[in-house]
């Protein structure tokens, strides 16, 4: 497979900074060696230019902090993602905080439409990221990015790169969710996204939950984007994230999820976000990110 590595060293969307160093930690954890071992060709490497660090940028609207630099960088990312899909390559996006999904989906949407493919999104996250500037308790855009991609919220976010929503909420499936704000929950229900919570996983067991997610995409998508927030994993295994929440997926479940998604043959792009080296322990979260990418790109134990 031809892979385009698209780095987004940005932490404008989050409260606890440091995920801008995520791409570098993932590189250090051996991403290039992994791709080489799996026989994938790294065809292109991109990192946005002229993005000032958050410390030197203007916060702007307190209800949607740093929206200007986020929109600028995500516009560049969207263009890169669109080009990658157009030329038949696999965009692998490395965050950064989760606000970068705005750019990823903005680029995937027109490229897949052109190919008459229905886009599905597997959103692997402890959180919903489905607030708007009106409901968000923090004003951090990484908590609004999925709502905006589904067409809800500030126009500067919903209209990013191309007009209107980037993905049909009916084609979005969450897995691993365990913390939603009350108004966020209402909006998700109203939008009609599918949510497999940690409670669902506890009730039915991980393998049944997994089958549910796989069936979901087999029925309704021709191309699936996997958006993986490292905070979905239990902090016992992945401590280096902005908002660690106990009770998450374990190490083996996360790997299995990636391996089974790869086997559907539907995955067209992926992103790994919220690796925060400042909060990590000896780069173990980034190393796990690399292992997850490996399974998603065809690695197996035997």
Positions that interact with Mn ion (CB under 5 A): 98, 125, 129, 229
| Cβ closest to Mn ion, residue 98 vs residue 225 | 98
CB atoms near residue 246 (< 10 Å): 9
Tell me the C-alpha to C-alpha distance, in Å, between residue 109 and each of 86, 118, 230. Answer: 11, 9, 24
- Provide the minimum distance between the beta carbon of 236 and Mn ion in the complex, in angstroms, as a whole number: 19
CA–CA dist 273, 101 (Å, integer): 9
- Which candidate in 7, 20, 80, 125 is catalytic? 125
Whether residue 168 lies in the annotated active site: no
Whether residue 229 lies in the annotated active site: yes
- Provide the minimum distance between the beta carbon of 69 and Mn ion in the complex, in angstroms, as a whole number: 19
Whether residue 274 lies in the annotated active site: yes
| Cβ closest to Mn ion, residue 20 vs residue 89 | 20
- Provide the minimum distance between the beta carbon of 274 and Mn ion in the complex, in angstroms, as a whole number: 6
CA–CA dist 172, 226 (Å, integer): 10
- Which candidate in 82, 98, 184, 253 is catalytic? 98
- Provide the minimum distance between the beta carbon of 229 and Mn ion in the complex, in angstroms, as a whole number: 4
Whether residue 280 lies in the annotated active site: no
Whether residue 97 lies in the annotated active site: no
Cα angle 33, 264, 91; round to 5: 45
Instruction: Report the relative pairing of strands 172-177 and 223-229 from DSSP bridges.
Output: unpaired
Find out whether 82 and 107 touch, Cβ atoms under 8 Å: yes
In the three-class reduction of DSSP (H, G, I as helix; E, B as strand; rest coil), residue 167 is classed as coil
SS3 for 160-193, per residue?
CCCCCCCCCHHHEEEEEECECCHHHHHHHHHHCC
Phi, psi angles (nearest 5°) of residue 86: -60, -35
- Provide the minimum distance between the beta carbon of 88 and Mn ion in the complex, in angstroms, as a whole number: 28
Find out whether 127 and 136 touch, Cβ atoms under 8 Å: no
CA–CA dist 132, 44 (Å, integer): 34
- Report the Cα–Cα distance between both ends of the chain, in Å, rounded: 20
CB atoms near residue 132 (< 10 Å): 20
Asked whether the bond before 96 is cis by omega within 30 degrees of 0, the reply is: yes
- Which candidate in 80, 82, 129, 234 is catalytic? 129
At what angle are helices 101-114 and 67-86 packed, to 10 degrees?
A: 30
| Cβ closest to Mn ion, residue 19 vs residue 89 | 19
- Which candidate in 20, 253, 274, 291 is catalytic? 274
- Which candidate in 97, 127, 225, 291 is catalytic? 127
| Cβ closest to Mn ion, residue 129 vs residue 271 | 129
- Provide the minimum distance between the beta carbon of 2 and Mn ion in the complex, in angstroms, as a whole number: 28
- Which candidate in 11, 80, 97, 229 is catalytic? 229
| Cβ closest to Mn ion, residue 125 vs residue 280 | 125
Q: Which helix (H) or strand (E) holds 17?
A: none
| Cβ closest to Mn ion, residue 7 vs residue 229 | 229
Whether residue 225 lies in the annotated active site: no
Catalytic annotation, residues: 98, 125, 127, 129, 142, 229, 231, 274
């Amino acid at each position: 497979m031809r892979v385009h590595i698209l780095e987004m060293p940005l932490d404008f969307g989050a409260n606890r900074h440091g995920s801008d160093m995520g791409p570098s930690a993932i590189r250090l954890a051996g991403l290039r060696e992994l791709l080489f071992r799996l026989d994938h060709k790294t065809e292109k490497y991109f990192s946005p230019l002229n993005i000032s660090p958050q410390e030197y940028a203007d916060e702007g609207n307190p209800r949607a902090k740093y929206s200007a630099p986020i929109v600028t960088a995500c516009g560049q990312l969207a263009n890169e993602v669109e080009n990658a899909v157009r030329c038949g390559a696999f965009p692998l996006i490395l965050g950064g905080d989760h606000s970068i999904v705005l750019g990823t989906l903005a680029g995937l949407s027109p490229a897949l439409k052109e190919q008459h493919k229905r886009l599905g999104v597997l959103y692997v996250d402890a959180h919903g990221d489905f607030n708007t500037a009106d409901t968000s308790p923090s004003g951090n855009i990484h908590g609004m990015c999925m709502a905006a991609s589904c067409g809800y919220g500030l126009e500067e976010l919903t209209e990013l790169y191309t007009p209107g929503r980037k993905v049909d909420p009916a084609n979005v499936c969450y897995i691993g969710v365990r913390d939603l704000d009350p108004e966020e929950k209402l909006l998700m229900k109203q939008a009609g996204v599918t949510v497999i919570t940690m409670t669902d996983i506890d009730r039915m067991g991980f393998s049944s939950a997994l089958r549910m997610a796989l069936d979901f995409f087999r029925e309704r998508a021709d191309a699936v984007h996997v958006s993986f927030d490292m905070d979905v994993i239990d902090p016992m295994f992945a401590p280096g994230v902005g908002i660690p929440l106990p009770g998450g997926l374990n190490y083996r479940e996360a790997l299995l999820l990636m391996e089974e998604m790869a086997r559907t043959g539907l995955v067209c792009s992926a992103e790994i976000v919220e690796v925060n080296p400042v909060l990590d322990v000896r780069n173990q979260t980034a190393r796990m990110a690399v292992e997850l990418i490996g399974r998603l790109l065809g690695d197996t134990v035997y």
